[in-house]
Amino acid sequence: MIRRFTPFPTFFIIFSLAFLVAELTSPLQAAQRISPSRAKQLFEKGVVHYSAGRYYSALDIFRRLINYPPEQSPQLTASKLMCMKSYAQIGRFNDVKATAREFLENHQESAYLPHIYAVLGDAYLSEGYYGSALEFYLKASRMGDGQAGNELDEKIIQVASGYLSLEKLNALLAIELDERSRATLSLAISNRLMANGEEDEAALVLFKLNKTFLPKSYRELYEKLKSETYISHGKSKTIGVILSGSVPAEKLARSFLKGVHEATREIQRLEGYAIETEVITAEDGLSGIRASELLSRNENVLAIIGPADNSAALAIAAAGKDGATPLLFPTSNENGLASVGESVYQMNSDLSLQGRYAARYALDQLAAKTIAVMSPSDQFGRNLTDGFLAEADEFGADIVSVEWYSGVPVDLSPQLSSMRDAAFRVERRKPKQIQGEIILDTADNTFQLFTSDFFEEERVSAEDDEVDSSEIILSSIDAVYLPIHPGDINYVASQFSSYGLETRLLGNANWYEPDELNQDMIGPNLEGMTILTDYLHPQEAPLSDKAWQVAGNYENREGILMALTGYDIAMFLAQHLQSADSRAAVRMNLDNASPSRGVSRHFAIASDKPGLNSSIHVLKYSKNKLTLLGEFVGDSLFTSVPKIP
């Protein structure tokens, strides 16, 4: 089954000075009086701070409110609850428990008791005490009389199904008196038995389960398990998935996850075994580290697919470098990520390798002798360019111009003028053609003839012979490498074409945008361009039928890319899970993996760079069409690729 779980935000480490002062002075404030209306205003302000993620500011307010006498603070119990929630968000779990004890001693009849137990469950879950977390979640559910909502129900089934052993679940069931909790525990036990391939035992548990006591949110899972007990399949495997949770990446993360789910269904159909996914969303690198730690604590998780975000991937890889859990990062192109640790697998070629492959293609396939580069001056552009120049220099190319620009390339005239000057310098080095008078020798060498003798009337003035140098087309630079950022095609292509440089262009994956390339003012200027990309759109993919099947519901190219990436990475990992029952076995399989072709990507772990995918596709743009020419795999170019069906 698919279980989704969102961890707490990252714990802050440094307390603010203002918060420390508030803690010291709160007893003094208790001696002061406050009106009920003022208390209400403060409480509402604290809720606003909490909702905005300003947990220290919220805690300062709620702590003040709980120190006033009850008659002055009508929101006393609510303020204590919010103190607990704020403590939980900043990782002060001992304070969560201390506040809960005080609350339970003094407010046994409070309507907030279910929420108190739920926050205690959150605290124990964050500390890795899964049995205690489940017990408090069940208490919260019982006291809430089923009104706690889907969020609590989801936490209960996730912890019960994914983090506790069958022994622990059966022990809890044996002493549980509440029928609703018994039904929930039985459902979790059945789910775990199905995951272990024990269909008969799972069917028996479901048969005894009184589904009338099940929360509505569990009905779909119940029906799914009931139908699966009649289908015999092998033992399931569990993987973790960390998604990028920032606002710009949220939609793409959903596309990626749908691709993963499509792959798990395909594996179930083709191979007869199930892959379950534990999904956690991480908003940044630190919360990504926390997500990785939570998943690694679950002994059933054999491998983790990391987020697409580069910075989060680097943080997670660094934190988990000494761990045993294989970490697969599907789209990161950071140089050196694969070398962070033995359990790290970078399933995309890094920027340096992409640059080297571009230079290799220019020298070997385009027979380029003179080379130029124009690139962004940030780390992204420099990593690509450094790889390109290192390869070009190693094979003896003449690097005549390297130009850098920063920011949005609105005005590239200084860089392009400099490159054109370099082209003139190369042109001057070429052997000169014979100019001037033509001497005709007769057989007896008695006289000479000059062209001026015959074309006197057609001679023109010296002024008419002058040519505007800006109009001269220069072809002295054989190839130009133009890596760009996403969205910069129009800026770079339109300006480059106006500088009269007849050459072969090479670009990185950000040129892979047909809608931009096919514009009337752009496409003709890029005729014959070579694009190196880590993925293929279904229009160019050899296995295009399957690619469209996976991503056909997406119109946006980014959504298509992420859906295909999720599908390919999950299918690749599944190949190495089937024969593995431990994380060490998965790592061994990955370290010895043969090249594998997905619907949009090719995975080939480099022998000289363990953990790094060394594959990249080569496309040619010509006549408003992109054609797959071949692919680099481990420094070798293969031009024989499957035909598009």
* CA 297/CA 76 separation, integer angstroms: 37
pLDDT at 32: 57
Pick from 124-128, 459-463, 532-536: least confident: 459-463
**Looking at the predicted structure, is the pLDDT value of residue 161 above 90?**
no
pLDDT at 433: 52
Q: What is the 3-state secondary structure (H, E, C) of 533-559?
A: ECCCCCCCCCCHHHHHHHHCCCCCHHH
Predicted confidence (pLDDT) at residue 641 exceeds the cutoff of 50: yes
* Mean local confidence (pLDDT), 463-476: 67
The overall average pLDDT reported for the chain is 82
pLDDT at 21 over 80: no
Rounded to the nearest 5 degrees, what angle is found at the Cα of 330, between the Cα atoms of 325 and 334? 95
The secondary structure of residue 343, as a DSSP letter, is T
pLDDT digits (tens, 9 = 90+) for 169-189: 888 888 888 888 888 888 888
CA angle 145, 151, 156 (to 5 degrees): 75
The arithmetic mean of pLDDT across residues 634-639, rounded, is 83
Residue 330, SS3 per DSSP: coil
Per-residue confidence band for 563, with pLDDT thresholds at 50, 70 and 90: very high
Residue 492 confidence (pLDDT): 96
pLDDT at residue 12 is higher than 50: no
CA distances (Å), origin 211, targets 160, 171, 172, 473: 17, 21, 19, 80
DSSP-derived secondary structure letter, 582: S
Q: Is 428 strand, coil or helix? A: helix
pLDDT band at 2 (very low <50, low <70, confident <90, very high): very low
Q: Which two tokens stand for residue 508?
A: 């990185």
pTM for the structure as a whole: 0.62
Beta strands in 10-125, from DSSP E residues, in sequence order? none
Asked whether 629 and 639 are in contact (CB, 8 A), the reply is yes
DSSP states along 169-186: HHHHHHH---HHHHHHHH
Residue 198: band (very low, low, confident or very high) from pLDDT cuts 50, 70, 90:
confident
3-state secondary structure (DSSP) of residue 131: helix
- Domain 352-428+469-533+616-645 part of CATH 3.40.50.10420: no
- Residues of the chain within CATH 3.40.50.2300 domain(s) are 235-349+544-613, 352-428+469-533+616-645
What percent of the chain lies above the pLDDT cut of 90?
37
Q: For position 4, what pLDDT does the model report?
A: 45
> Would you state the pLDDT for residue 10?
39
Q: How large a percentage of the chain has pLDDT more than 70?
A: 84
pLDDT, position 636? 85
Q: Is the pLDDT of residue 393 over 70?
A: yes
- Does the pLDDT of residue 16 top 60, yes or no? no
Q: What is the mean pLDDT of residues 555-581?
A: 90
Model pLDDT, residue 234: 46
Q: Does residue 634 come out as left (phi exceeding 0), alpha (psi in the -120 to 50 range) or beta?
A: left
Question: Are 323 and 293 contacting, i.e. CB atoms less than 8 angstroms apart?
Answer: no
The C-alpha atoms of residue 134 and residue 142 are separated, in whole angstroms, by: 12
HSE toward the beta carbon, residue 27, CA cutoff 13 A? 1
pLDDT tens digit sequence for 293-328: 989 988 889 999 998 888 888 889 888 776 789 999
> Quick one: pLDDT band at residue 513, thresholds 50, 70, 90?
very high
Handedness of CA 592, 597, 598, 600 (dihedral sign): positive
pLDDT at 247: 59
Which has more confidence, 4 or 116?
116
pLDDT digit string (tens) for 228-261?
A: 765 544 467 889 999 887 656 777 888 898 899 8
> What pLDDT, on a 0 to 100 scale, did the predictor assign at position 149?
63
Q: How confident is the model at residue 72 (pLDDT cuts 50, 70, 90)?
A: low
Query: Coil, strand, or helix at residue 49?
Result: helix
**pLDDT, mean of residues 364-373:** 95
* For helices 130-143 and 166-175, angle between their N-to-C axes, nearest 10 degrees: 40
pLDDT in tens, 130-151: 888 888 988 888 887 555 567 8
pLDDT digits (tens, 9 = 90+) for 407-458: 999 999 999 999 999 999 998 887 765 444 544 444 444 445 454 444 444 4
- The residue among 281, 207, 219 whose CA lies nearest residue 292 is 281
User: Would you place residue 369 in the very low, low, confident or very high pLDDT band (cuts 50, 70, 90)?
Assistant: very high
Stretch 38-62: mean pLDDT: 89
Give the model's confidence band at 578: pLDDT under 50 very low, under 70 low, under 90 confident, else very high.
Answer: confident
Instruction: Write down the pLDDT at residue 232.
Output: 43
Q: What is the mean pLDDT of residues 509-532?
A: 93
Lowest mean pLDDT among 114-123, 153-162, 278-287, 462-471: 462-471
Question: Which CATH superfamily hosts domain 235-349+544-613?
Answer: Response regulator (3.40.50.2300)
